[in-house]
């Protein structure tokens, strides 16, 4: 389980690296304005690289990290739900990588393809699950000796994630700084995953609530 926890470091690192690489390979792509999903949109250049070397492996690793939180920290219903939500975050990333949005990732509903519809649902679900899971872990960490000192950081990460998600949603109509808000949101989620993953990997098993 402690090895699985490292998925919280490796998954975000792979995701971030592929966003940078695929963004550089696409002329005119703007990290400030455009969605990450556009790098993996159906039929676009290097979409296979983004999806199958970036998003899907990252999702698998983050799901493993979520499973590690369940195995190493959970004891009651709230902690089980928190771990399950983080695991779902990773699974939904995988689904979003398998099923791509249409070129440009238009936000009309319903999308013009089944794959784009699944991608949109998975994209919304993954972010909501991640923020909710982090918020629940903030409550739980106060009672777990091995990670008690992370509860304030975790609460702040949950609040920041919600704030960035709100800003991201507000920007969708105009697409002004949409890419920036999305990257700040994912960055917040990923930094939290990495910090907790390293703590779990370094801490001995058995530091559960008492």
**Res 206: pLDDT:** 43
**Res 204: pLDDT:** 56
Sign of CA pseudo-dihedral 162, 167, 171, 176? negative
CA gap 108, 117 in Å, rounded: 10
Q: Which residues of the chain have pLDDT under 50?
A: 206, 209-210
**Res 208: pLDDT:** 52
CA gap 139, 16 in Å, rounded: 28
């Amino acid at each position: 389980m402690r090895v699985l926890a490292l998925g919280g470091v490796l998954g975000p690192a792979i995701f971030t690296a592929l966003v940078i690489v695929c963004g550089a390979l696409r002329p005119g792509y703007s990290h400030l304005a455009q969605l990450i999903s556009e790098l993996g949109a159906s039929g676009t250049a290097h979409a296979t690289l983004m999806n199958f070397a970036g998003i899907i492996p990252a999702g698998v690793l983050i799901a493993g990290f979520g499973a590690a939180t369940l195995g190493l920290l959970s004891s009651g219903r709230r902690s089980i739900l928190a771990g399950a939500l983080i695991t779902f975050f990773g699974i939904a990333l995988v689904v979003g990588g398998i099923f791509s949005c249409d070129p440009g990732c238009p936000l009309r509903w319903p999308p013009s393809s089944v794959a784009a519809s699944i991608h949109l649902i998975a994209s919304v679900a993954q972010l909501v699950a991640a923020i909710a899971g982090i918020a629940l872990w903030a409550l739980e960490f106060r009672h777990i000796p091995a990670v008690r000192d992370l509860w304030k950081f975790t609460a702040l990460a949950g609040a920041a994630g919600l704030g960035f998600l709100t800003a991201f949603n507000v920007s969708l109509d105009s697409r002004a700084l949409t890419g920036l808000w999305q990257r700040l949101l994912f960055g917040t989620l990923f930094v939290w995953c990495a910090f907790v993953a390293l703590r779990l990997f370094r801490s001995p098993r058995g530091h559960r609530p008492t």
